[in-house]
Amino acid sequence: MADQPDQQALDEVVEFTSDLIRIDTTNRGGGDCQERPAAEYAAARLAEAGLQPTLLERTKGRTNVVARIEGTDPSADALLLHGHLDVVPAEARDWSVHPFSGEIRDGVVWGRGAVDMKNMDAMILAVVRDWARSGVRPRRDIVIAFTADEEASAEDGSGFLAEEHPGLFEGCTEGVSESGAFTFHDGSGRQLYPIAAGERGTAWLKLTARGRAGHGSKVNRDNAVTRLAAAITRIGEHDWPLRLTPTVRAALTELAALYGIETDLADVDALLDKLGPAAALVEATVRNSANPTMLDAGYKINVIPGEAVAHVDGRYLPGAEGEFRATLDRLTGPDVEWEFHHREVALQAPVDSATYARMRAAVEEFAPEGHVVPYCMSGGTDAKQFSRLGITGYGFAPLKLPEGFDYQALFHGVDERVPVEALHFGVRVLDRFLRTA
Ligand SMILES: [Zn+2]
């Protein structure tokens, strides 16, 4: 039994990434997406490896794939390994290479989904096929899920699976998916590998101010536009207090140690200043946030409308939702109502777990020059939906990126691309982690 993926696995991860990019699964929201061809492609690759994938749809064409690999230890908890099949839109005219070409040029695979997250889907496929060839069986059961609709509401994807097919995930206690274990270059030669162990919650808000409609030339103390503008200003200018979750506390402590900075968690803003570029890994997750993003009121310049509406993109930390709500009540005041337009839970995963330690060890083995640190995602993933099944989610889709490849900028960005070498690293690290998990 080989202890590392074979050449075929290294070739296949590149081929599968490119093939999946060529299958256009653009998700424009509102149900405008077809994942089915990508799901059939993934299911066929799993079937070739002797697995029995199930295709599941809530809506025609919005296809999810689930398969289970039986582990050698039936008493062990199962591990969920999931990747979404849809991608965000891409405007071909802005790109150097057509975003759905999957072109491989100078050792780099180009296209929408190259880092988010057809790369990881391809890595999962390459690893399990390698195992089938070489007879590797993991200790734990591994449930593989390729999902639809992650880039919109997840209603046709992980939300649907968690709600209507919980039996497929029986025994799963932990999940692993996107947005972690990529190389973060700090600008001074250090390479960090952040592993996600938490996500902020989503609180997209609708604010409605009401007042007395009337002529724009008259005295009016009940102007809905004025009331809304005042509330929006208070929200936009609010200084949210520091709230350190266990993951962010661990991240700050480890980063401070790495950079030889005295850790003073009582003055986190000063600590962030001293961290330089690495502060980007934590600065969006030390507080709740609420950014006004949309305004809508009025229809004629000399008519005061009776109602004015705004939308706010709010995010709250694990354990801080109550405080978020109370703060919004206070900031909006008695004349403006607010409600959730869309709400998703915040997640917290332990960084002292055996699984976290195994992910860290797998990265350190293949990137000994790297420094693994935990972090909390500022946004969200399918892990939010799977958390309803009691599954703790980590972000671990390993990629070794050379300097100049800014993962965060490529994510949903123009000229999204991934080096072939990065995919090879990903397959090796994912294989090592899954074998030891
Ligand atoms: Zn993604």
Ligand 1 center from residue 20 Cα (angstroms): 14
pLDDT score recorded for residue 266? 87
Alpha-carbon distance of 305 to 308, in angstroms, equals: 7
pLDDT digits (tens, 9 = 90+) for 305-359: 999 999 999 999 999 999 999 999 999 999 999 999 999 999 999 999 999 999 9
pLDDT score recorded for residue 345? 96
pLDDT digits (tens, 9 = 90+) for 34-70: 999 999 999 999 999 999 999 999 999 999 999 999 9
Give the pTM. 0.93
> Among residues 391, 333, 329, 82, which one has the least CA distance to residue 203?
329
pLDDT score recorded for residue 407? 86
- Please report, for the chain, the start and end positions of each structural domain, with discontinuous segments joined by +: 7-179+381-436, 201-243+287-344
Pick the CATH number of 7-179+381-436 from 1.10.10.10, 1.20.120.920, 3.10.20.600, 3.40.630.10: 3.40.630.10
Ligand 1 center from residue 154 Cα (angstroms): 12
Alpha helices per DSSP H over 238-295 = 246-258, 268-275
Measured CA distances, 239 to 286, 289, 327 (Å): 12, 9, 11
Ligand 1 center from residue 115 Cα (angstroms): 8
CATH number of 201-243+287-344: 3.30.70.360
Alpha-carbon distance of 283 to 382, in angstroms, equals: 23
pLDDT score recorded for residue 312? 97
pLDDT score recorded for residue 264? 85
Ligand 1 center from residue 87 Cα (angstroms): 7
CB atoms within 10 A of CB 4: 14
Residue 193, token pair as written in the block: 């590998």
Alpha-carbon distance of 111 to 96, in angstroms, equals: 10
pLDDT score recorded for residue 1? 55
Ligand 1 center from residue 116 Cα (angstroms): 5
Ligand 1 center from residue 150 Cα (angstroms): 7
Instruction: Name the stretches of the chain with pLDDT < 50.
Output: none
Ligand 1 center from residue 380 Cα (angstroms): 9
pLDDT score recorded for residue 437? 86
pLDDT score recorded for residue 270? 93
SS3 289: strand
Active site residues: 86, 150
pLDDT score recorded for residue 236? 98
> Among residues 285, 99, 141, which one has the least CA distance to residue 272?
285
Alpha-carbon distance of 101 to 104, in angstroms, equals: 9
pLDDT score recorded for residue 49? 97
